[in-house]
A and B are shown apart, each in its own frame.
Chain A
């Protein structure tokens, strides 16, 4: 087992190196370098440029030198010092910008994931057990509608309902009075009051897919002979369904669970934008629009790395739950 983990981790390293190169290549794509862009911007704003500072930055990022030298400096700083470079739009280190938004992003991401699973898995299982009944049709119908409705529209509708029915402020994660307040019970409750809209909006769209996959897997498994065996033992329907077919029907699901890791980080960009949430998604969008390339590159790199790590976690989880994978029989 440990050998397998070690091997998988070793496989991850070349992938990560390739990804970081591509991310840096993307950063380099826009014409010119970011210093000249910044100089131009500062001058357009009528400010003077400190030549010494410019030279220091030029040295720091290796600007003007070949691609490989610049790449080596960029990735070297990230790996050795955790320094992702400077966002010239915000005039702050990229790492600070990301760290500021990380807690809220993770809170939203994890809450959404939990919400999706909590709704979709039982609904999919129920839908399969009660195939061709009104319950099944209702769940499938709602699922498809949730999938089909554009998320930004649902976000706007829910935000309006929140405003009209519960007298909530529109947009953001906090009411105005709590935005700059220190953390406390009140602020936390306020957060929960706002969080449900993006969670429901993003979550519902995700549920439809999971419901369909779970339902299809379950229908395959429910007709397997081992289910009859379990029934012939005298187990109750609920017990036997959760112990046998659900366990196996969850496999494809577990094998993709790690893929959610990157989406925890960037969240749903459009919904976050519409609802003006202070998560990392809108930050990435902003960075791309304003060609803030160290910020964009840093976020892209982190997302890519999380994707690779998520896949690794999925593989390990699947091996942990399915002996057929563990013993190389499937």
Chain B
């Protein structure tokens, strides 16, 4: 064993020595990492795709450098190219990845003198050289901690493995270190969690465990690839705080990949903006936000819904508050209870657990308005939306809907058959523009289906109405014959909107309708929704976890927390003067997209007094 270890270390040292770079293109002394003309190509059957195209950038030691860009910009591929863990058909083709190990880092097998600069791209992708760097000197945190950790190994096993590998600790000693580190990243009861599996932890806890794993060997450089994208806004704020604190206490350099400019403004020292695999702009955070040089950076910033902390009271808004006496939909004491079989197959007892997903919610949706429904995942906002659509039958309460003729109907009690005419009047736009369109139906079939099944139109009349609707949502008539896969995410969401609007509805429930879209596309879709509202007199129930979007487009906002509506009021009032502690916590957790406001606000934590909630 020790003989193999020694051999391995000798090979690693030899490989690294071979990849050591003479100073023909010297590296800046303050840099920890420099990419020089890096190219990473995915060799697919359809030909080569350049994911990273001649990228050069520099990361100062001790800094936080954010790489921003929209999906497909090559930011993740760049990060993975650094330690050569690109997904399968991808390969680092050209360029150099210069890495300077910390001078003060006491290495076990070498004197602590300043070590030479190594070109990581010159190392064999599976050889001992790069492997001695991965995990030990450069740690990596991924976006989705559920799929990035093995479901069948315990957290402790997966973290401790690094210590056994790089520091040759015995399992018992590794266990001690892992428990210490789990505690350090804020996981309560770390002794118990050591033996937990990923699916037993919440999203935030999983990401903490992932961070503990990346940091357990105390790397000099941490690469975090969208580490907070899958998390709720309050959890995101906690993870960002944690990363900042750990970076400080461990003296690390942080390379942070994100699409969220708000996060960038909160944490970055330097910013690299990427598009189509190329770096379009590279500079200090203040310059990027306040003096962007490149056209694309300006576009990105303009697309950003600005959440200003300044309370702007516009009296003009009061005029809009003159509402008709009766709302389009009045939700009264709505309750939705799910019965779930709790306890595991191996548990001592099986019991049915009642979950109050929606607990006595009362909300008016005035005609022609946009009502925002916000809250974290699991708060019941989607359930409420589905009750309104009557996809679920509410357990109790009323859904009083005022028809075009002024008659009021309680949708909560209607049978499936009686609901049919209302199904055309209340429609839904889904979150996932990929999963919500049948890939085997043409756009004409997808959009026309609601009319066809309702028997409202057929033949050329149906086709005419579908094409008219496509034009209305900003697509071309000629696109009707194509299949969904031929469209981009934004275009698909337009198709989804066309499908919702084809039956001339009065109320549209948009459940996270723009959450899966890139910032610039999101702006276009929001503009489209606003335009359609004006033209067609639509009413929106807009469900979102993204407060900046809700603030931008909603007239009224309802905040939900564990099934209960904790606050409800006009948007300006809720955002400027939140009454409930939870709303305050939620608002304070939203990153502000202006680096100059960093540190001017304090985060509020909300601890519900009633722990039964």
Distance of A236 Cα from B88 Cα, bound (Å):
16
Given the complex of chains A and B, what is the CA–CA distance between A323 and B199 in angstroms? Answer: 9
* B27 CB, nearest partner CB in chain A, Å: 23
Binary A-proximity of B532-549 (CB < 8 A = 1, otherwise 0): 000000000000000000
Whether A92 is near chain B, meaning CB under 8 Å from some CB there, is no
Which residues of the other chain, B, contact A329 by a CB distance below 8 angstroms? 199
- Are the CB atoms of B132 and A234 closer together than 8 Å? yes
Within 8 A of B (CB), among A169-224: 222-224
Question: Does B131 reach chain A (CB closer than 8 Å)?
Answer: yes
Tell me whether A327 and B150 are in contact (CB under 8 A).
no
Q: How far is the CA of A321 from the CA of B213 in the complex (A)?
A: 23
Q: Is B135's beta carbon under 8 Å from chain A?
A: yes
**Once the chains bind, are A235 and B199 in contact (CB under 8 Å)?**
no
- Contact between A324 and B148, CB atoms less than 8 A apart: no
A328, B346: Cβ atoms closer than 8 Å: yes
8 Å CB interface, B125-162 against A:
126, 128, 130-136, 139-140, 142, 144, 147-153, 161-162
Q: Which residue of B lies closest to A223 (CB)?
A: B88
Which of the candidate stretches A33-41, A225-233, A255-263, A282-290 sits at the interface with the other chain? A225-233
In the bound complex, residues from chain A placing their C-beta under 8 Å from that of B609 are: none
Contact residues of A: prevailing secondary structure: helix
Contact A326 B161 (CB under 8 A): no
- A327 and B200 contact, CB distance less than 8 A: yes
List A contacts of B218 (CB < 8 A): none
Residues on A with C-beta less than 8 A from B132 are 234
Complex Cα distance, B144 from A224, in Å, reads: 11
A327 and B199 within 8 A (CB): yes
B344-A328 in contact (CB<8A):
yes
A81 beta carbon closer than 8 Å to chain B = no
A residues 298-330 near B (Cβ < 8 Å) are 319, 321-329
* Residue in A225, A319, A324 whose Cβ sees the most chain B Cβ within 10 Å: A225
Q: How far is the CA of A324 from the CA of B316 in the complex (A)?
A: 57
- CB contact under 8 A between A229 and B140, given known A3-B348, A234-B135, A324-B199: yes
Q: Are A322 and B133 in contact (CB under 8 A)?
A: no
B170 within 8 Å of A by Cβ? no
Asked whether, in the complex, the Cβ of B344 is within 8 Å of the Cβ of A326, the reply is yes
Closest chain-B Cβ to A32's Cβ sits at a distance in Å of 50
Q: Measured between C-beta atoms, what is the minimum distance from B546 to chain A in Å?
A: 24
| Contacts of A1-18 to chain B: CB distance below 8 A | 1, 3-4
A247 contacts B by Cβ under 8 Å: yes
Q: Which of A229, A233, A322 contacts B152 (CB 8 A)?
A: A322
Q: Which residues of A contact B291 (CB under 8 A)?
A: none
Q: When the two chains form their complex, are residues A235 and B142 in contact, meaning their CB atoms are under 8 A apart?
A: no
Are B85's CB and A248's CB within 8 A? Answer: no
Q: Which of A1, A234, A324 contacts B136 (CB 8 A)?
A: A234
- Given the interface pairs A1-B346, A327-B200, the reply to whether A248 lies near B152 with Cβ below 8 Å is yes
> How far, in angstroms, from A219 to B584 measured CA to CA in the complex?
47
Q: Does B345 contact A (CB under 8 A)?
A: yes
Contact A328 B152 (CB under 8 A): no
In contact, A324 and B345 (Cβ under 8 angstroms): no
CB distance from B344 to the nearest CB of A (A): 4
Name A228-246 residues within 8 Å CB distance of B.
Answer: 228-237, 243-244
Closest to B138 in A: A232
- Partner pick for A234 among B133, B142, B149, CB 8 A cutoff: B133
Chain A residues lying within 8 Å of B136, measured Cβ to Cβ, are 234
**Smallest Cβ-Cβ distance to B150: which chain A residue:** A226
A326: chain B residues within 8 A (beta carbon): 344-346
Report Cα–Cα, A222/B150, bound state, in Å: 12
Contacts of B130 on A, CB cut-off 8 Å?
234
Q: Are B133 and A3 in contact (CB under 8 A)?
A: no
Whether B83 sits at the interface, judged by CB under 8 Å, is yes
- Mask, B98-142, CB within 8 Å of A = 1, is 000000000000000000000000000010101111111001101
Q: Is A223 touching B87 in the complex (CB atoms < 8 A)?
A: yes
- The residue of chain B having its C-beta at the shortest distance from the C-beta of A325 within the complex is B345
> Are B346's CB and A244's CB within 8 A?
no
Instruction: For the complex, give the distance between the alpha carbons of A328 and B342 in Å.
Output: 10
Question: Cβ of A236 and Cβ of B162 under 8 Å apart?
Answer: no
**List of A residues within 8 angstroms of B344 by Cβ:** 326-328
B33: shortest Cβ distance to chain A, in Å?
15
Residues of A contacting B88 in the complex (Cβ-Cβ under 8 angstroms): 222-223
Given A229-B149, A327-B197; A236-B131 close (CB under 8 Å): yes
Taking a contact as CB atoms under 8 Å apart, the answer to whether B162 and A234 are in contact is yes
Q: Which residues of A29-88 are within 8 A (CB) of B?
A: none
* A247 nearest in chain B by CB position: B152
- The CA of A234 and the CA of B197, in the complex, are separated in Å by 22
B296-320 contacts to A (CB < 8 Å): none
Q: Is the CB of B149 within 8 A of A233?
A: no
CA distance A224 to B348 in the complex (A): 34
The interface residues of chain A lying within 8 Å CB-to-CB of B60 are none
B148 pairs with A233, CB closer than 8 A: no
Q: Complex: how many Å from CA A324 to CA B345?
A: 11
Q: By the criterion CB–CB under 8 Å, are A236 and B126 in contact?
A: yes
Taking the closest CB of chain A, its distance from the CB of B286, in whole angstroms, is 32
Is there a chain A Cβ closer than 8 Å to B80's Cβ? yes
Across the interface, name the chain B residue whose C-beta is closest to A222. Answer: B88
Shortest beta-carbon distance from B214 to chain A in Å: 8
Instruction: Please state if A232 and B140 are interface contacts (CB–CB under 8 Å).
Output: yes
Tell me whether A232 and B134 are in contact (CB under 8 A). yes
Assuming the A-B contacts A224-B147, A235-B161, A321-B152, are A328 and B345 also in contact, with contact meaning beta carbons closer than 8 angstroms in the complex? Answer: yes
Contacts of A319 in B (CB 8 A): 346
B441 contacts chain A at the CB level, 8 A cutoff: no
Cα distance, A198 to B438, chains bound together (Å): 51
- A223–B345 Cα distance when bound, in Å, is 30
Question: Does the CB pair A226–B149 fall under 8 Å?
Answer: yes
Shortest Cβ distance from residue B348 to the other chain A in the assembled complex, whole angstroms: 7
**Cβ contacts A to B, 28 pairs, < 8 Å:** A225-B148, A226-B147, A226-B150, A226-B151, A228-B87, A228-B142, A229-B213, A232-B83, A232-B134, A233-B135, A233-B162, A234-B133, A234-B136, A234-B162, A236-B126, A236-B128, A243-B153, A244-B153, A247-B150, A247-B152, A248-B150, A322-B152, A323-B151, A324-B151, A324-B152, A324-B197, A327-B197, A327-B344
Knowing that A234-B136, A328-B344 touch, tell me 15 more A-B residue pairs with CB under 8 angstroms. A225-B148, A226-B147, A228-B80, A228-B142, A229-B140, A229-B213, A233-B213, A234-B133, A234-B135, A234-B162, A322-B152, A324-B197, A326-B344, A327-B199, A327-B200
Chain A residues near B (Cβ < 8 Å)? 1, 3-4, 222-226, 228-237, 243-244, 247-248, 319, 321-329
Top 9 A-B pairs ranked by shortest CB distance?
Answer: A234-B134, A234-B135, A328-B344, A233-B135, A232-B140, A234-B131, A225-B148, A225-B147, A328-B345
